Amino acid sequence: MSGCEARDAKKLVRSPSGLRMVPEHRAARSPFGLDEPPWVPDKECPRCMQCDTKFDFITRKHHCRRCGKCFCDKCCSKKVPLPRMCFVDPVRQCAECALISQKETEFYDRQLKVLMNGATFFVTLGASDKSELMVCRLSNNQRYLVLDGDSHYEIEIIQISTVQILTEGFTPGGGNSRAIGMVLQYKVPGSEELAQMKFTAGEDFSCNKKLSASWLAAMHKVSK
């Protein structure tokens, strides 16, 4: 096993909420992940925290795996995937949390995959007037933005402070604009100063503009 594979190794753990496939090393956790919430103690929850129904032998209490609050079966019946907490199977969530998780599933299933597949851009560092053609992608552990060309860079996602998407063809009504690049500002390890990097979609045939635009759109959603 290589050093990278060892760092990214995962293990199966069981919690009161269900089975989770988590990184063996906490430092290797995805920046998009969430910790499991503490459950509201049963003794502090005599009624459903949504509809106020009193719990008894017939009306049982359930804990939402995302927020940890107590609900009756009617208010906490949905089992929805929760990839941000690394659950192997869909888990029980209240209606409000289930809606949030369903929206996030699209992000995990589509946007992160687009970013990990990568796209090609001309990359310019700081105020330099020279650019380099590089393949940009999100690392498999989702912790780094990796740039490969003649040079190699790895930018830790949590160190990125701003993401500005560059567009062209903007109209007052917001139509007909398309993403053509972005500007990143990020902290350099060991320094409080911000570095800047500009990404521009290539105009030549070898650079797939549609792929670049999709990658930029996904990066825009990640920044939110």
pLDDT digits (tens, 9 = 90+) for 123-132: 999 888 899 9
Which domains are present in the chain? 10-114 (3.30.40.10), 118-169+179-223 (2.30.29.160)
> Does residue 65 surpass a pLDDT of 90?
yes
Q: What is the pLDDT of residue 100?
A: 93
Secondary structure element (H or E) that encloses residue 216, with its range: helix 209-223
How far is the C-alpha of 68 from the C-alpha of 170, rounded, in Å?
44
How far is the C-alpha of 126 from the C-alpha of 195, rounded, in Å?
7
Q: Where is pLDDT greater, at 4 or 163?
A: 163
Q: What is the pLDDT of residue 172?
A: 53
Q: Work out the widest C-alpha separation in the chain, in whole angstroms.
A: 73
Q: What is the pLDDT of residue 140?
A: 85
* Percent over 90 (pLDDT), the chain: 50
Residues 134 and 147 sit within 8 Å (Cβ to Cβ):
yes
* Percent over 70 (pLDDT), the chain: 89
Q: Among residues 67, 99, 108, 90, which one has the least CA distance to residue 19?
A: 90
Which of 19-23's residues contact partners 24+ apart within 8 Å by CB, and which partners? 19/87, 19/88, 19/89, 20/85, 20/86, 20/87, 20/88, 21/86, 21/88, 22/86, 23/141
Each residue's pLDDT tens digit, 174-185: 556 778 889 999
